[in-house]
Amino acid sequence: MSPAHGPLIPSLAAGGHLALTEPELVGWGERLARTVTPPLLVTISGELGTGKTTLVQAICRAYGVSEEVTSPTFALVHRYAGKRSPVFHLDLYRLTGPADLTNLGWDDILSEDALVLVEWPERAGARIPRDHVPISLQHLPDDPDRRLLYAGGHV
Domain of residue 147, CATH code:
3.40.50.300
Would residue 114 count as lying in a domain? no
Tens of pLDDT, residue by residue over 76-101, are: 999 999 999 999 999 999 999 999 99
Query: Any idea what DSSP says for residue 3?
Result: T
* The dihedral sign for the CA sequence 69, 71, 74, 75: positive
Instruction: Provide the percentage of residues in the chain whose pLDDT is more than 90.
Output: 69
Would residue 64 count as lying in a domain? yes
Q: Which pTM value belongs to this model?
A: 0.87
In terms of residue numbers, what domain contains 91?
15-108+140-154
Sheet holding 146-151, edge to edge: 17-21, 146-151, 133-139, 40-45, 115-119, 86-91, 77-81
Would residue 122 count as lying in a domain? no
Would residue 129 count as lying in a domain? no
Structural domain tally of the chain? 1
Would residue 113 count as lying in a domain? no
Would residue 6 count as lying in a domain? no
Average pLDDT, the chain: 87
Would residue 84 count as lying in a domain? yes
If one compares 17 and 113, the residue with the highest pLDDT of the two is: 113
Query: Which range (8-17, 115-124, 146-155) has the least confidence?
Result: 8-17
pLDDT at 70: 87
Would residue 61 count as lying in a domain? yes
